[in-house]
Amino acid sequence: MTGINISAGTRVAALLGYPVGHSVSPAMMNAAMAKLGLNMVYVALEVRPADLPAAIDGVRSLGLTGVNLTIPHKEAVLPCLDAVSDDARVIGAVNTIVNQDGRLIGHNTDGRGFLAALEGYRLNGKCVVILGAGGAARAVAVTCALQSTGEIVLVNRTRERALAIAERITDLTRVKTLALVPDAEELSQIYRRADLVVNTTPLGMEPEPERLPPIDPDVLHPGMLVYDLIYRPVRTRLLQEAEQRGCRTISGLGMLVYQGALALQLWTGEKAPVETMWEAARRELGIMSF
């Protein structure tokens, strides 16, 4: 339910991804648009990787107000755009496009969303292990580096992708970075000193909630903060394993809300109703409180 009357003047924003069936964003964004009294709707559209350039042309030709990009389009979309903001350029990935009279401008609100959901946890000097090296990992890694973490270790099955992010961080900052595959020998030492582990892979997401990202849960220890970008389910298997071992945990729901609030603000110039977005996202996931 959007709570608005669709008319000839209704503006449209969309989420493009593959898959998108798991997304809470339509419920969350439509609730926010209704709360602000906007004549605007938000829909989720499944776009196969090969169809992304055509879909982006469609954003121009159909006059969509803007789009969000999700897995696996955040990096692939870059050549399809007219310009990118500083945050998207620095991160090297785009999760939000603003259509300015036919010119498509790419932004990245994932990094600031990730940071906001940390709720004051200080990254300064910390050892951060990031599982995965896709578009979301880029935003997380660059954000951590710009917050002066002590060390960033990227763990990914395709080492080249992790290496590319590590090189980006070395270009931008003096933060020590390492790019490793999941069975690298150095990892057992690294996990002993790790303060924060962030899962940016989709492993553990519905419809396969029993899956774990590439980490042995026995390396998790009290004092560690474990942050899973997945929000469906809210308590992933990784977070459950972490809680059983005395770790603090953060689910991806907060990041979803904050990155969405920033995107909405970019499209409309209005301050997003964050509480409404939290409520809608929780309702959609069937959680009354957590």
Q: Which residues bind ligand NAP (CB under 6 A)?
A: 70-72, 74, 110, 113, 132-137, 156-158, 161, 200-203, 205, 214, 229-231, 252, 255-256, 259
Note whether 33 and 3 are within 8 A (CB): no
> How many other CB atoms are found less than 10 A from the CB of residue 108?
30
Which residue has tokens 């050892």?
127
Closer to ligand NAP by CB, 110 or 151: give it: 110
Q: Which of 263, 253, 242, 201 is nearest to 71 (CA)?
A: 201
- The CB-of-131 to ligand NAP minimum distance in angstroms stands at 8
Residues 239/217, Cβ–Cβ less than 8 Å? no
Residue placing its CB nearer to ligand NAP in the complex, 24 or 146: 24
Residue nearest to ligand NAP (CB): 134
Q: How far is CA 70 from CA 100, 231, 260, 283, in A?
A: 21, 13, 12, 21
Task: Give the nearest distance from C-beta 179 to ligand NAP in angstroms.
Answer: 11
Calpha distance 251→286 (Å, rounded): 15
Residue 84 or 203: which CB sits closer to ligand NAP? Answer: 203
The answer to whether 58 touches 102, Cβ cutoff 8 Å, is no
Please state the closest distance from residue 278 (CB atom) to ligand NAP, in A. 13
Torsion angle (degrees, nearest 10) of CA 102, 75, 96, 106: -40
Residue 74 among the catalytic residues: yes
Q: Which is nearer to ligand NAP, 63 or 167 (CB)?
A: 167
List the catalytic residue out of 74, 126, 176, 271.
74
CB of 77 to ligand NAP, least distance (A): 11
User: Residues with catalytic annotation?
Assistant: 74
